[in-house]
Amino acid sequence: MARVGNARRWSRVAADIAQPVAALIVFVLLWEVICRGFSIPAYLVPTPSAIWADTWKLAGQVSMHTLATTQTTLLGFLASLIVSLPLAVLLTASPAVANTVYPLLVLTQSIPKVALAPILVVIFGSNELPRVVVTFLVAFFPLVLSIAAGITSVPPELIELGRACRASRWRELWRIRLPYAVPFIFSGLKAAITLSVVGAVVGEFVNADKGLGYLIVTSTAFFQVPLAWGALVLLSLLGIILFQAVVIIEQVFFPWAVDADKQAV
Amino acid sequence: MIVLDHVAKTFVTRGGEQVLAIADVSLEVRRNEFVCLVGPSGCGKSTLLRLVAGLVAPTEGKVSIGGARVTEPRDDTGIVFQAPTLLPWASILDNVLFPLDMMRRLDAAGRARARDLLALVGLAGFEGKYPRELSGGMQQRAGICRALVHDPDILLMDEPFGALDALTREELTIELMRIWRERPKTILFVTHSIPEAVLLADRVVVMSARPGRVAEIIDISLPRPRDFDMEARHEFQDATRRIRGLIFGSRGARG
């Protein structure tokens, strides 16, 4: 019984992977054929083969840039998580605190991050820090909202059960509210990791000497258009890989939360 | 055992309005007695239960257990809710042990008692399973174990079978009477179902709504052990008819 179930699951996984891969291959082939067929110039839309060739030629440099962007993304993402968790707890602690903190949060979100980035460079200097701060500012808000939603969506009976056991508020938070919020935290993390990549690129556009955002700015300035496209492809790959990493972490460490997610949907 | 002495409870709504949920309720529940609370929705049955649990404080009057005034949740009460509300991240055994853990009283004796209770409700072998792997009825059985794990004298049940299908509901009703026979407790049981109340209770407290009051207390003289075949008896029929009459007026009694 179990073996049949497993076999069926694996064939479904294979189909889940095979179909998107096939679609992707068809898309890339069509792109190549159309570019060549209509002889579209490479400085407008380069062919996939040209993108590959130009990017591969500079593999060493490109991987250095990719690593730099990955680092900024992850640092900003980590900062978002570290700040959002206590912030969400604070927001849900009492209506008075929420009324004080929430408007400030909305204010940080209403500032266009691209406009803020050069000012951050003036404040923090020309280094990694302003880029991480921009990444953080872009990524943390949805995370705070989903953690707060998770903390407040605990069934009232569970809170009553905690109170009936005379659990302290701290213990209630730690043993009931936060575990209950895990599926919400992960849906926030999935949004945050995607936004972190965006934030890192914004930071690199404004001030950087390396990174994929920097590579796009410099290569377009020097008409190395296929290289810029290569950086773009790498950025989306980076986004997909980091997103899947969050998904896998949830599945491995919180398998029950994945189920709760599905039930919620 | 449990004494409610002229208890009233007023809630303040979000709009600042005062709502009288319970007005002047006096009730005495004897040790190891099975008392059911029935009444229309909004009659304050659940509020009454939470007053006894020490989860809400009365606005007027006094709630006491064993002569001591109830001011906060006590160790000698256990609660079962309408939804099992098990922790999705914990195994069935850990769910049952959760109150002990929260009270910082988790020890080997507690673990042994939890396993005993799970066996008592027919969940032996499910200790390591997770709530999502169990049916609604099985989850509620685990919920009952969770309420009993710290060996309380008083079991408070807030429509515990309300969310279950009719067959599972009958099964658990019989099951609860067996558990109560094997581990005598004082049980306060809130329900919407009149036949369920009559079958379970030594006494049925019929409440009226807005504000919640005790309309009448009815003694059920059916012999124990009871089962669903007793629904045909005239004592059963008389009791249900009387309760229905009290809740709906003569209209319900005739229909």
Q: How confident is the model over A192-213, as pLDDT tens digits? A: 999 999 999 999 999 889 999 9
Residue B43 is part of a domain; what is its CATH number?
3.40.50.300
E strands, B129-171, in order: 154-158
pLDDT exceeds cutoff 70 at A5: no
Give CA angle at A246 (A241, A247), nearest 5°. 95
B79 and A171: CB-CB below 8 Å? Answer: no
Distance separating alpha carbons of residues A60 and A56, to the nearest angstrom: 8
Interface test with A, best of B47, B56, B102 (most A CBs within 10 A): B102
Interval B97-128: pLDDT, tens: 999 999 888 999 999 999 999 998 899 999 99
Domain of B212 in residue numbering reads as: 2-76+157-254
Alpha-carbon distance A185 to nearest alpha carbon in chain B (angstroms): 14
User: Of B136, B151, B166, which residue is a domain's last?
Assistant: B151
Domain count, chain B: 2
On whether the CB atoms of residues B100 and B149 are closer than 8 A, the answer is yes
B241 and B141 in one domain? no
Beta strands B186-191 and B34-38 are parallel
pLDDT of residue A134: 95
pLDDT exceeds cutoff 50 at B254: no
pLDDT exceeds cutoff 60 at A2: no
Say yes or no: B132 contacts chain A, CB-CB below 8 A: yes
pLDDT of residue B16: 85
Which of A158, A164, A259 has its CB closest to that of B53? A164
Q: What is the DSSP string of A114-126?
A: HHHHHHHHHHH-S
Give CA angle at A69 (A184, A190), nearest 5°. 10
Q: Using an 8 Å CB-CB cutoff, list chain A residues near B83.
A: 155, 157
Q: Which residue from B200, B205, B243, B209 is spatially nearest to B26, judged by alpha carbons?
A: B205
Q: Using an 8 Å CB-CB cutoff, list chain B residues near A171.
A: 102
Q: What is the mean pLDDT of residues A124-140?
A: 94
Q: Using an 8 Å CB-CB cutoff, list chain A residues near B85.
A: 155, 157-158, 161
Distance separating alpha carbons of residues A46 and A228, to the nearest angstrom: 10
pLDDT > 70 fraction of chain B, expressed in percent and rounded: 98
Say yes or no: B109 contacts chain A, CB-CB below 8 A: no
Which of B82, B103, B132 has its CB closest to that of A165? B103
Give CA angle at A131 (A125, A135), nearest 5°. 145
Distance separating alpha carbons of residues B255 and B241, to the nearest angstrom: 10
pLDDT of residue B174: 92
CB atoms within 10 A of CB A205: 17
pLDDT exceeds cutoff 90 at B32: yes
B85 and A182: CB-CB below 8 Å? Answer: no
Per-residue tokens: B214 = 């005790």
Lowest mean pLDDT among A79-88, B7-16, B122-131: B7-16
B22 and B119 in one domain? no
- The rounded mean pLDDT for chain A is 91
pLDDT of residue A3: 57
pLDDT exceeds cutoff 90 at B217: yes
Q: Which residues 161-200 of A are in CB contact (within 8 Å) with B?
A: 161-167, 171, 175-176, 179-180, 182
Say yes or no: B128 contacts chain A, CB-CB below 8 A: no
Q: Using an 8 Å CB-CB cutoff, list chain A residues near B129.
A: none
Q: Using an 8 Å CB-CB cutoff, list chain A residues near B92.
A: none
Taking only Cα atoms into account, the Rg of chain B, rounded to an integer number of angstroms, comes to 18
B116 and B27 in one domain? no
Alpha-carbon distance A165 to nearest alpha carbon in chain B (angstroms): 5
Interval A46-73: pLDDT, tens: 999 999 999 999 999 999 999 999 999 9
pLDDT of residue A260: 61
Exposure b/e, A38-61, CB count within 10 A at least 16 = b: eeeebeebbbbebbbebbeebeee
Q: What is the mean pLDDT of residues B135-150?
A: 94
pLDDT band at A11 (very low <50, low <70, confident <90, very high): confident
B135 and B31 in one domain? no
B85 and A155: CB-CB below 8 Å? Answer: yes
On whether the CB atoms of residues A172 and A228 are closer than 8 A, the answer is no
pLDDT of residue A265: 37
Per-residue tokens: A102 = 């929430």
Distance separating alpha carbons of residues A35 and A93, to the nearest angstrom: 58
Place of tokens 């609660």: B79
B214 and B108 in one domain? no
Per-residue tokens: B93 = 């055994």
Which of B53, B54, B102 has its CB closest to that of A175? B102
A158 and B87: CB-CB below 8 Å? Answer: yes
Distance separating alpha carbons of residues B125 and B162, to the nearest angstrom: 26
Q: What is the mean pLDDT of residues B31-57?
A: 92
Q: What is the mean pLDDT of residues A218-225?
A: 92
pLDDT of residue A148: 94
**What is the ipTM metric for this complex?**
0.85
Say yes or no: A258 contacts chain B, CB-CB below 8 A: no
pLDDT exceeds cutoff 50 at B65: yes
Alpha-carbon distance B189 to nearest alpha carbon in chain A (angstroms): 16
Alpha-carbon distance A259 to nearest alpha carbon in chain B (angstroms): 8
Residue in chain A closest to B146 (alpha carbons) equals A161
- The rounded mean pLDDT for chain B is 91
pLDDT of residue B253: 43
Q: Which residue from A50, A192, A62, A211 is spatially nearest to A130, judged by alpha carbons?
A: A211
B138 and B168 in one domain? no
B91 and B35 in one domain? no
pLDDT band at A6 (very low <50, low <70, confident <90, very high): confident
Q: What is the mean pLDDT of residues B187-208?
A: 94
pLDDT exceeds cutoff 70 at A240: yes
pLDDT exceeds cutoff 90 at A43: no
B250 and B165 in one domain? yes
pLDDT of residue A258: 81
Q: What is the mean pLDDT of residues B230-254?
A: 83
Per-residue tokens: B24 = 């002047």
CB atoms within 10 A of CB A103: 9
Say yes or no: A257 contacts chain B, CB-CB below 8 A: yes
On whether the CB atoms of residues B69 and B2 are closer than 8 A, the answer is no
Say yes or no: B53 contacts chain A, CB-CB below 8 A: yes
Q: What is the mean pLDDT of residues A244-265?
A: 79
User: Of B125, B151, B177, which residue is a domain's last?
Assistant: B151
B128 and B42 in one domain? no
B95 and B55 in one domain? no
Distance separating alpha carbons of residues A173 and A181, to the nearest angstrom: 10
B175 and B128 in one domain? no
Q: What is the mean pLDDT of residues A89-99?
A: 90
User: Of B93, B128, B151, which residue is a domain's last?
Assistant: B151
B200 and B104 in one domain? no
pLDDT of residue A264: 45
Distance separating alpha carbons of residues A86 and A74, to the nearest angstrom: 19
CATH number given to A51-264: 1.10.3720.10
